[in-house]
Amino acid sequence: MGFEEIKEKDSKYIAHTYSRFQTDLCGGEGAVLCSEDGRQYIDFGSGIAVNIFGVNDEEWKEAVIAQVNKIQHASNLYYTRPAAELAAMLCEKTGAKKVFFSNSGAEANECAIKAARKYSYDKYRSGRNRIVTLKNSFHGRTLTTLTATGQDAMHPACFAPYMDGFDYAEPTAAGVRSAVKPSTCAVMLELIQGESGVNVLEAAEVRAIEALCKAKDILLIVDEVQTGNGRTGKLYAYEHYGIEPDIVTTAKGLAGGLPLGATMFFGKCEAVFGAGDHGSTFGGNPIACAGACSILRRLDKDLLLEVQGKGDYLRTHLSRIKNVRAVTGMGLMIGVETAKPSRELAQKCLDKGLIVLTAKNKLRLLPPLTVKKSEMDRALQILNEVISE
């Protein structure tokens, strides 16, 4: 099936919720992808921060295939080794006490929201169940996580009614302070707002938000669906901030390309869930967890330093490009602001063989963590041609 036929079937039979770029992707090696017609692309998107070791990674493939040869699914009625191993590794590396596995970022956040309400209910009984989220945040597409998302544009009338129980704050300590009420049980935030433009929250503001939460026994939930798993040059971005969140959610890159979400509970709320309180048929699937183990095992100090170095290299060179107004982000999560419409620039990059993402008015760059210097240089050359034009 060639590209035209794929495209025809896709638009005939798949719901039209995505405006796709005009190419298919069918293979590649590391940070180089190819389409059915044999065109090659340097990948600065990683399938939206998912393929963190690129494609065709030997170690990941070996782990996944070995598990496929054993058992593909067992259900949560039984124990499986990959889930137990992955949970232990996550807790050992972060200091979290318990993990709940699901299949996506939205589900990981949904779980965090339920846990925060239950923590508060168990301790204070009813009437303390509201959650403060930040303006310009993005937390997912289920009705609850969509409601949690602090963007009016994401709340069109056609999907109403939305959930009750969310208050939106300016992304500062003062903003959160004025949104918190006696009925607030949690504050949920992204430390780098990904979808809305790679906006990095200020460390002093975040620490003040943490202090406010601690003083009032309000849980601090950090949504690391995009920033997690080495993306920013730390295993989780909260480590840059010197804070101790109560709940951390992640997904995207965790299993290196397979659907897996995780909600991590730190000391305070380790015992919040008991038998029957929450569940997921596919959550903790052994294939996804085996893939994740092979990823997490390699996210060590050396690799994270390498991510920081590559990020610094890209940011330095990007900021020198004519027409670039600002470069934001941390590690290999980078936003590039220019005066031109970002979708148009992304299309031009694609035409020249570079895949990039957009985030509002910015280009968003999320290359695999293993991207090579030669690939970064080629990408910078293309970005330079497209942006300075």
Ligand X SMILES: *Cc1c(COP(=O)(O)O)cnc(C)c1O
For ligand X, the binding residues (CB under 6 A) are 104-106, 109, 138-140, 190, 194-195, 223, 225-226, 251-252
Nearest-approach distance from CB 377 to ligand X, in angstroms: 28
As measured in angstroms, the least distance from the Cβ of 277 to ligand X is 21
- Amino acid letter, 84: A
Q: Choose between 192 and 296: whose C-beta lies nearer to ligand X.
A: 192
The Cα–Cα gap between 141 and 259 comes to 15
Task: Report in angstroms how near the CB of residue 150 gets to ligand X at its nearest.
Answer: 12
Shortest distance (Å) from residue 176 CB to ligand X: 18
Angle (nearest 5°) at CA 326 between 355 and 136: 80
Cα-trace Rg, the chain: 21
Distances (CA, A) of 141 to 104, 138, 159, 189, 284: 10, 9, 11, 16, 21
Min. distance of Cβ 258 from ligand X in angstroms? 12
Q: Which residues of 286-295 are buried (b: 16+ CB within 10 A; e: fewer)?
A: bbbbbbbbbb
Closest residue by beta carbon to ligand X:
105
3-state secondary structure of 127: coil
Burial class (CB in 10 A: 0-12, 13-18, 19+), 260: buried
Calpha distance 191→206 (Å, rounded) = 8
Nearer to ligand X, 137 or 380 (CB): 137
- Cβ-based nearer residue to ligand X, 111 or 293: 111
Q: Provide the minimum distance between the beta carbon of 143 and ligand X in the complex, in angstroms, as a whole number.
A: 13
Of residues 67 and 109, the one with the C-beta less far from ligand X: 109
Q: Which is nearer to ligand X, 107 or 375 (CB)?
A: 107
Nearer Cβ to ligand X (109/294): 109
